[in-house]
Structure 1
Amino acid sequence: MKKPIAQLVLIFSLLWTSGSAAGKRRPDGRIVNGREAFDGEFPYQLSLRRLTIHICGAAVLDGSWAITAAHCVDGHERKPQEFSLRLGSVRRSSGGSLMNVRTIYKHPTYDPKDMNFDVALLRTQIGALTMDPNAAPISLPESGEPIVENLSAVVSGWGHMSSTESTLSSVLKYTTVLTVNQQKCHRNLMFHGGVTDVMFCAAARNTDACQGDSGGPLVAQGKLIGIVSWGVGCADPYYPGVYARMSHPSIRRWVRLLTKL
């Protein structure tokens, strides 16, 4: 059973990382040394599934809309019927509710070569994502809202638990990270293309540099400040995890245009 899942994860990773820059910028997929969540602790957390297999994290925005990373759905926008969302459960493969994705919207300026604007919206049946009593939306930051250095934030996901183990976690894991100075982050990742103003970094020494499942939520002060995007290596303090910046004006305008949120 483990072998097919590992093969599918590898296939998706290879598809996502086409292009020279993306070959260095690997979609992020691990919670290292995280703690197991209990039922109801992360009501906004979703498991994005393709052909019944968990491929990414996502987050509830309201009853009809979820948000994830663009690289999680890149190339499959016209096949939303292949995707579903598990909500209301900390278990990756059981519990909660399963809802079908009806429409996929990738950010119009997403670039798979450099992972810029790595955000996608998923539309479901009206009210589907708040029908489960253990599911609830997460708030968004205001447009242009700054992310201060050393801000404590929580990232969660079902990703690989170490850089050498390709098995997904069966139970949702989470850990606390701190946001990194933007200039320092850019310098650290210079040889991997650096970061743009649509991205920001967060890290935690000896616990989590890869940050979590691709497309998963990074939450601070009750707001979804970031979407897990890409990383270099795993659990390396010199290479912090990189997130899509949810407060970036171009992202917030686009989200508001589609969802009215």
Structure 2
Amino acid sequence: MRFPFRAVIAAAVALLPAAAVPLAGPATPAAANGVIIGGTPTSTDQEPWVVALSSRSRFGAARSGQFCGGVAVGPRTVVTAAHCFGREALGVSDWRQLSDLRVIEGRTDLTGEAGEELRLSDVWVNPGFDASTNAGDVAVITLDQALPSGAAIGMAQPSDTALYQDGTQAEVYGWGDTTGRGDYADSLRAAPVTVFADTTCEKAYPGSSDGTYVRATMMCAGAPAGGHDACQGDSGGPLVVAGRLVGLVSWGSGCAQAAYPGVYTRVSAVAALVAQHM
């Protein structure tokens, strides 16, 4: 998983092994596993559908308490990773126990106060999420008020097979670790990555304690030579192709390694599930 590690340490919870991390946020101010490596600055003005999940009580006040990413797919609907709502990330068994849990929209720089911090009215965590393989890693957040007009991005559907072809160029977004050494970004970043064939992903992740690549609900992307990837603190954030949401940052071994591309929840495989909870 790709969570922020600083917050987890501050909260005195056990961390996942460094080799296989859920991509959530930073050590002091963040809390889940994954950050953008090899990226460049962007903004929520350009990508208004990129949002941050935060809890200052859990992850500290720095960087607005960000610990995972999320993606607005409807006026009141945000999708993210299921593991962002697990006990390991939140430290509690029920998200309602974190009274300051929020979705932050419109805040490019997490040290600032732009945008809005929105309350959650409901969360659906995929009951089919398999923590041993990381398959089905998706959750749906319903907000208690609407996002600004035009903030949502369209989800890839089962018919959008061209978006998943080997060699397709994509962009991944997040506030996560930019070096793989716990250097979390204050401002939103984007990195170019290449979609890999399922056979390549299966070769990289045939099955271990880290997880197992399951093509039915996963995809993977990275750079053939390494250097571009999501990382700690990016979990639940978007992978986008041609203006469509194709993946959600989920897991991987290390960050930006040539032999181990980032693994994402395949949005086209879960779009119907998400739609049921919009």
TM range (shorter): 0.7 to 0.9
The answer to which of 227-236 and 88-97 deviates more is: 88-97
* 1:130-172: CA deviation from partner (whole Å, max 9, x where unpaired): 26xxx610101123532111111110100011122x1310110
Runs (5+) with no aligned partner, structure 1: none
Alignment of 1:195-206 (within 5 A): 195-196=213-214, 197-204=216-223, 205-206=225-226
Runs (5+) with no aligned partner, structure 2: 24-33, 57-63, 88-92
Matched, 1:140 2:155: yes
Contact 1:138 1:224 in 2 (8 A): yes
**Residue of structure 2 aligned with 1:150, choices 164, 167, 179:** 167
* 1:32-66: CA deviation from partner (whole Å, max 9, x where unpaired): 12101145111111011023510001011112111
CA distance in 1, matches of 2:8, 2:53: 13
Matched, 1:243 2:259: no
CA distance in 1, matches of 2:12, 2:68: 11
* 1:220-249: CA deviation from partner (whole Å, max 9, x where unpaired): 11111000000101121100000000101x
Deviation of 1:113 after TM superposition, in Å, equals 2.1
Cα 1:199–1:186 shift into 2, 3 Å: same
Contact 2:105 2:116 in 1 (8 A): yes
Alignment of 1:41-60 (within 5 A): 41-51=46-56, 53-60=65-72
The answer to which of 151-160 and 78-87 deviates more is: 78-87
Matched, 1:184 2:204: no
Contact 1:210 1:233 in 2 (8 A): no
Residue matched to 2:124: 105
Deviation of 1:24 after TM superposition, in Å, equals 5.7
Deviation of 1:194 after TM superposition, in Å, equals 3.2
CA distance in 1, matches of 2:101, 2:136: 21
Cα 1:126–1:235 shift into 2, 3 Å: same
CA distance in 2, matches of 1:158, 1:208: 14
CA distance in 2, matches of 1:13, 1:62: 35
Cα 1:130–1:12 shift into 2, 3 Å: farther
TM-score after normalising by structure 1: 0.85
Cα 1:201–1:211 shift into 2, 3 Å: farther
Residue matched to 2:29: none
Cα 1:206–1:240 shift into 2, 3 Å: closer
Residue matched to 2:179: 162
The answer to which of 8-17 and 151-160 deviates more is: 8-17
Contact 2:230 2:256 in 1 (8 A): yes
* 1:99-138: CA deviation from partner (whole Å, max 9, x where unpaired): 11121110120122221110001111141x226xxx6101
Contact 1:185 1:194 in 2 (8 A): no
Deviation of 1:93 after TM superposition, in Å, equals 3.1
CA distance in 2, matches of 1:214, 1:99: 19
Deviation of 1:210 after TM superposition, in Å, equals 3.6
Cα 1:13–1:240 shift into 2, 3 Å: farther
The answer to which of 5-14 and 207-216 deviates more is: 5-14
Residue matched to 2:254: 233
Matched, 1:26 2:21: yes
Residue matched to 1:254: 273
Deviation of 1:89 after TM superposition, in Å, equals 2.1
Deviation of 1:255 after TM superposition, in Å, equals 1.0
State the AA in 2 paired with 1:114: T
Contact 1:199 1:245 in 2 (8 A): yes
TM-score after normalising by structure 2: 0.80
Percent identity between matched residues is 25
State the AA in 2 paired with 1:200: M
